[in-house]
Each structure stands twice: as structure tokens, then as C-alpha cells.
Amino acid sequence: MDKSKINKILIIKPRGIGDVVLSTITLDNLRKDFPEAEIDYLTEKPSDAFLKITVNINNVLVLNKSTLKDKISTILKVRKRKYDLVFDFYSNPFTAQITFFSGAKYRAGFPYVGRKYAYNLYGPEERDKYHSAILHLKFLDKLGLNSDAQNIHFGIDAESQSKADFFFFNNFSESDLVIAVSPSGGWDSKKAPIEKFAEFADEAATHLNAKILIMWGPDDKNEAEAISSLMVNKAYLAPPTSIVEMGAFFKNANLTLANDSGPMHISAAVGTPTLGLFGPTAPEFQGPFGKKNDYIILDDLDCIRCNLLKCPRNKECFYNIGTSSVIDKMKRMLNIA
């Protein structure tokens, strides 16, 4: 690869939100190798909102594949921009087509059967050996590119930060220990029962003297309200937020407790110590990324890391988590004796 000839780069990463967040680990590295290049993203909504204001990204293209016409339009839009290098970090049949027809001299993707035709540079064959963030670095390393920087990014604009600051100013004091709780989750089996969230939150409020802030997205309001109603201690329900505003709220908290989800990765990306609750998925591959963060998983269960979308065993992996283990992890992460 002649780096001096690379002026325009496209990163393709449509979904999910957490995966898009983790892919930003490539940005600082690419900027070192290509300091003057234009770096664009092709993604889906709602990830476009934070990528548009994320450092080292020049332009964001929104992927729309609702109809054949939309798909063709996307391919033509990418081709028109004349990229020199395309990274397809998703590598599904359609993104492989986008990459193949991009016209880019260098086309990089994962060497999956039936899709290798689209690429002339390949990432690692074994994806299940690495954390999802590290996998992107292994991809860069395989191409002989810089892979030293391990920062993930999430863009927050001033207006979104002001909304979070205003809420915190009106509800908490500067000395308060604020723990954000996020019951969101992409699959039902990844979501800890609301009773357990209420239990963990009450313990944190009682034993850590914490103020509990319950975060929620469009599909989680009922669960958030239910957690609040089940708690003995007072909980603060966040107002409706956009994805960027959610990042600002997490940034203002001292710690986040979350399921394996997009919000968990957003919290980690904005620098808030994040404790993930895991059951059907593997934290060594999908856990909150960064040294500040940690996770809880019951490794002794024979069904753990099942990857099932629906739990056939009453969510033992969450119901059997002891509150003391959660509080102990929080204390360590917050440096509380």
C-alpha cells in the first residue's frame, strides 16, 4: 500500500450501536498513518448522529437499504466519492457489494466465504479470538498499519452536554456519587430482570450513599419506571434523550451499571467507569472496553454464554448474581475502601 496515494478513506460499519462505537478505535491509528486524508463513515441511524461530531471523522454517509433502489443509490453515492481505501468492518453480502463497486484501489474486509471477491486486502480470519475492539486493531496490524492507540470515541456536542449539565445541576450536588443504571438490551436474554436492577440500585444507594439515575431509550421507558417503582430508595428518572444526549448524561455520572448493550459501550466510550452485567454473551469479546471498566458473569453456570435470544431457564445467569459481588466491584472501580 502506497500511503502517500491515500487521500480518501471510507469505513463501513452499519450496526449495532455498540459495534459502531467500538470501531472508532481505528480512528486515532488511521490519522497517524494518513494525517491529511479524509476519513468518512458509512453507517445506519442512529449511529450517524454521534459519528458526525466524533473527532477525526470528516463525513458520515447514512446507509439506507430499504429497497433495491436505495441499495443502488448507496453504491453509486460511494462510488462517486472516489475513495482510495475502503475498510468493510461489517463484511456482510451487501457491504461487500458496496466495497467491490466502490472503485477504490484498496478494498479491505474479512475473508468470509462468498465475500472474499470484494476485497484485495484481508482482516483476520479468526474473529472469535479477540475482543471486538481489539479485532479492529488486529485488522489494521494485518495490513501493516498503526495499531497502537486504543481509544474509542463518542461525539458529544455542546447543546447535548448543556442538557445533561442542567439536569445534574437541578437534581444533584457536586459532592454526590451518581450511578447511572441502564436496563437497555438488544435481545431479551441479555437484559437483567428489572427486580435485579432495582436490588442492585438499592444496595448502591444504601451502602455507597449513591444517587441512582435511571437511563432509558425509546423502548425502555416502562422498564425504567418499573425499576424506580420497585426501589426502596429514591431514583431519578432521566428525561427523554437522543443518543448523543444519552452519552452526555453518562459522561456526567460517576459509574454506570448496564446490560451488554449499546448504552454500555457509549458509557465506556465517554470515560465513565462501566460495569457490565453478562449472561448469554461473552464479556471477553463484547465487554465494556477500557481499563476503568469491568463486568460480572457467573462462569459456574453450565448454560452461561449460550447466545440464545430467549432464555429457557428463567435467567439464572442474572437472578443468581449476588448483590455483594456488584457492590464489591463498584467499590473497587470507584476506589472506595
Does 79 lie in the same domain as 37? Answer: yes
Q: Average of pLDDT values for 130-143?
A: 96
Does 165 lie in the same domain as 39? Answer: no
The pLDDT of residue 66: 85
Does 213 lie in the same domain as 116? Answer: no
Query: What length is written for the chain?
Result: 337
Question: Is pLDDT at 127 greater than 80 in this prediction?
Answer: no
The pLDDT of residue 218: 87
The pLDDT of residue 49: 97
Radius of gyration of the chain (CA): 21
- What is the domain count for the chain? 2
* Phi and psi angles of residue 181, each rounded to the nearest 5 degrees, phi first: -120, 130
The pLDDT of residue 23: 98
**pLDDT tens readout for residues 221-242:** 999 999 999 999 999 999 999 9
Does 168 lie in the same domain as 22? Answer: no
State whether residue 168 is helix, strand or coil: helix
State whether residue 332 is helix, strand or coil: helix
The pLDDT of residue 63: 94
Evaluate the omega torsion of the peptide bond into residue 46 and state whether it is cis, within 30 degrees of 0: yes
Does 227 lie in the same domain as 187? Answer: yes
- Grid cell listed for 3: 500511503
Does 123 lie in the same domain as 214? Answer: no
Query: For residue 195, how many C-alpha atoms fall within 13 Å in the half-sphere facing its CB?
Result: 7
Question: Is pLDDT at 148 greater than 80 in this prediction?
Answer: yes
CATH number of domain containing 116: 3.40.50.2000
Average pLDDT, the chain: 96
**pLDDT tens readout for residues 285-336:** 999 999 999 999 999 999 999 999 999 989 999 999 999 999 999 999 999 9
In a domain, 127, yes or no: yes
3-state SS of 313-327? CCCHHHHCCCHHHHH
Does 165 lie in the same domain as 133? Answer: no
The pLDDT of residue 245: 98
The H or E element that residue 42 is part of is strand 38-43
Does 130 lie in the same domain as 18? Answer: yes
**pLDDT tens readout for residues 42-93:** 999 999 999 999 999 999 999 988 899 999 999 999 999 999 999 999 999 9
Buried b (16+ CB within 10 A) or exposed e, 122-155: bbbeeeeebbbbbbbbbbbbebebbbebeebbbb
DSSP class of residue 4?
G
Does 179 lie in the same domain as 275? Answer: yes
The pLDDT of residue 315: 94
In a domain, 317, yes or no: yes
In a domain, 151, yes or no: no
Confidence of residue 269 (pLDDT cuts 50, 70, 90): very high
The pLDDT of residue 77: 96
Q: Provide the domain limits for residue 248.
A: 159-334
The pLDDT of residue 48: 97
Whole-angstrom distance, CA of residue 251 vs CA of residue 271: 7
